[in-house]
A and B are shown apart, each in its own frame.
Chain A
Amino acid sequence: MLELVDLSKHFGGVRAVDSVSLHVEMGEIYGLIGPNGSGKSTIVNLITGLIEPTSGRIVLDGRDVSGLATHQRVAHGIARTFQNIRLFGQLTVWQNLWVAENRDRQQRAQPVLPRWLWGSEADRERLGAALEFSGLGHKRDDLAADLSFGEQRRLELARALAAEPKLLLLDEPAAGMNVQEVEELDARIRRVRDTGVTVLLIEHHMELVMAVTDRIGVLNFGQKIAEGSPATVQNDAKVREAYLGTAA
């Protein structure tokens, strides 16, 4: 459903992403791993349109979205979370979900005035479901800034889901989590996939990636050096070299 075609991003002389092509299948959990600075976050920013590619194309469901603005890509079903949580701290939990545009709304399926002023019935149902998923129902009217770290991560995931995406990009969602929280995250990612959302997971936490993903792509210095099932990737010589260095 998501296809990157010869995607490159150069910052001056630095080839942050260098002709990467990859294909994410509908309904799978695709892991993108690589050492620090290998270009993973740059790829997320390219897919969501926060930065423009130097060359190459991004195709979603057979449609080239390379030229679209970030908010238009959300309308086409791409939502994300951030490596460093970016919530609206001075808004309440509910408001954080409320601002997220969903595809329906952008297709003008609902009457304009009510959905802006008090939110339509459909909105309330959709956001209620996202709130329930985050497990923050009891903190509905708390400011996002007052939540704990784990709760903020959950709220950010819920905000991304409130946009009802087809493709969810998770940028290092396990960063700073303890073992138990990572287990919960694992279950949560599977639940998202089970609702029919395709997941692209960028992660450093190897146990999580190996456990939850269907396929993995490995980046090193902006290039894709391997791809395949977790087992294949783990035994790939190039991947071992990228992570552990060459045997002298």
Chain B
Amino acid sequence: MDFYLGLLQIIGVHTLLGLSAYVLLLTGQVSLAQAGFMAIGAYVSAMLTVLARWALLPSLLAGGAVAAVVACLVGFPALRVRGLMLVVATLAFGEAVRLFFFNFDYQIAMGGIRVGPLGGEGFRQIRYFPENGWTTFEVMLFIWMVVGAVMAALWWMDRSRAGAVLRAVGEDEVAAQSAGLNLTAVKVSAMTLGGFIGGVAGGLYAHYTTHIEQGNFNVLVATFAIAYPILGGLSNVFGTLAAVVFIQGFLIEGLRFLGDWRNLLFGALIVLAMNVRPSGLLDAKSMAKDLSALRRLLEAVRDGVATRWLIERLKDARAEARRLLAKWRGAFGA
């Protein structure tokens, strides 16, 4: 049971991570910095609950806020580059954050033991949940309440003018400027919001795993962050959720029984999914296309029955013709 609860926790945190990249992707920014924002949120909120004895919720919000401020600062230089150059720049930022925490020591003695982040050793004893008697189920529930709140907020944003503005900038920057939109404001806002969501994801992650280290926020995690919304599609927030369930639930956990073959299949299935659904798992247009393909298939099956019936009739006709020919041969005197 705990296995499934743990899986739900992972899916919840990764959904938040994917959503933090989703906001940026709407404006056309592909960022590999999301793992870095997650690291900042994780370390800040864990230090607040462990070292400063803050309550959980304010710590999570503070972790998100610090990540948001850093993201805002990253947003300005990031404006100068786009496309592949932005990917490289944000990758460099993410690695810089990771290496910062690799070298970051801040330990104080508490109750006879020293606690706090210790460089490469990581940050152990983030014991807020066990100390306060939270069960795994309660932790899972709490994570999903946060995920639900963020998804609801982003769903609403998508339908507001803000969502249209983000998508407009993502589609055509020249047209967006000419319609009076301030590109700097829009892109930096998206970066800031993405940083906040990534930071909250990191805070939740730190508390349910109880132990974080720089390696938890590497390039692979950053890649997953953008893979979720890209695989899931940018039509709405549920695409990201579907992609996280697909990757974390099915490809990583569901295929574990395949042993080493899993890793091979993992890549192959993602390639397959991207080919079947180039605009994302939950893209409205390709879903409609699949439905009509299914309908055609059903029709083909039905037509197959019809074809077989037709072939039987043709065979009958041929037998009849042969019978007639045999009869007439006599009439021609052959």
Binding site of B, secondary structure by majority: helix, strand, loop or mixed?
helix
Whether a CB of chain B sits under 8 angstroms from the CB of A131 is no
Whether a CB of chain B sits under 8 angstroms from the CB of A100 is yes
Stretch at the interface among A22-30, A86-94, A237-245: A86-94
Minimum CB–CB distance from B65 to chain A (whole Å) comes to 20
Whether a CB of chain A sits under 8 angstroms from the CB of B23 is no
- Does A99 lie within 8 Å of B176, measured CB to CB? yes
- Does A88 lie within 8 Å of B171, measured CB to CB? yes
Whether a CB of chain B sits under 8 angstroms from the CB of A233 is no
- Does B180 lie within 8 Å of A88, measured CB to CB? no
Whether a CB of chain B sits under 8 angstroms from the CB of A74 is yes
Given known A71-B183, A88-B172, A118-B160, contact A99–B178 (CB-CB < 8 A): no
Whether a CB of chain A sits under 8 angstroms from the CB of B165 is yes
- Does A75 lie within 8 Å of B172, measured CB to CB? no
Residues of B within 8 A of A96 (CB): 168
B-facing residues in A163-185 (Cβ within 8 Å): 163
- Does A102 lie within 8 Å of B161, measured CB to CB? no
Whether a CB of chain B sits under 8 angstroms from the CB of A101 is yes
- Does B161 lie within 8 Å of A88, measured CB to CB? no
Considering only CB atoms and an 8 Å cut-off, how many residues of chain B contact the other chain? 20
Whether a CB of chain B sits under 8 angstroms from the CB of A95 is yes
- Does A101 lie within 8 Å of B179, measured CB to CB? yes
Given known A116-B162, A117-B161, A119-B161, contact A71–B171 (CB-CB < 8 A): no
- Does B175 lie within 8 Å of A86, measured CB to CB? yes
Whether a CB of chain A sits under 8 angstroms from the CB of B167 is yes
- Does A86 lie within 8 Å of B168, measured CB to CB? no
Whether a CB of chain A sits under 8 angstroms from the CB of B182 is yes
* A115 and chain B: residue at smallest CB distance: B161
- Does B180 lie within 8 Å of A87, measured CB to CB? no
- Measured CA separation A70–B178 after assembly (Å): 6
- Measured CA separation A80–B181 after assembly (Å): 13
Whether a CB of chain A sits under 8 angstroms from the CB of B314 is no
- Measured CA separation A82–B178 after assembly (Å): 10
B-facing residues in A137-164 (Cβ within 8 Å): 159-160, 163
- Does B181 lie within 8 Å of A101, measured CB to CB? yes
* B279 and chain A: residue at smallest CB distance: A90
Considering only CB atoms and an 8 Å cut-off, how many residues of chain A contact the other chain? 32
- Measured CA separation A44–B123 after assembly (Å): 58
Minimum CB–CB distance from A144 to chain B (whole Å) comes to 10
Interface bits B158-170 vs A (CB < 8 Å: 1, else 0):
0011101101100
Whether a CB of chain A sits under 8 angstroms from the CB of B177 is yes
Minimum CB–CB distance from A131 to chain B (whole Å) comes to 15
- Measured CA separation A118–B159 after assembly (Å): 8
Minimum CB–CB distance from A124 to chain B (whole Å) comes to 11
- Does B178 lie within 8 Å of A87, measured CB to CB? no
- Does B178 lie within 8 Å of A101, measured CB to CB? no
Residues of B within 8 A of A69 (CB): 177, 182
Minimum CB–CB distance from A78 to chain B (whole Å) comes to 9
- Does B171 lie within 8 Å of A91, measured CB to CB? yes
Whether a CB of chain A sits under 8 angstroms from the CB of B174 is yes
- Measured CA separation A160–B168 after assembly (Å): 14
- Measured CA separation A87–B168 after assembly (Å): 9
A-facing residues in B164-214 (Cβ within 8 Å): 164-165, 167-168, 171-172, 174-183
* B157 and chain A: residue at smallest CB distance: A117
Q: Which of these, A75, A91, A116, A117, contacts B180 with CB under 8 Å?
A: A75
Minimum CB–CB distance from A18 to chain B (whole Å) comes to 25
* B185 and chain A: residue at smallest CB distance: A71
Residues of A within 8 A of B183 (CB): 71
Residues of A within 8 A of B174 (CB): 50, 86
Residues of B within 8 A of A163 (CB): 179-180
- Measured CA separation A79–B161 after assembly (Å): 20
6 A–B contact pairs at CB < 8 A? A71-B183, A74-B178, A79-B178, A79-B180, A82-B175, A118-B160
Residues on B lying within 8 angstroms of A by beta carbon are 156, 160-162, 164-165, 167-168, 171-172, 174-183
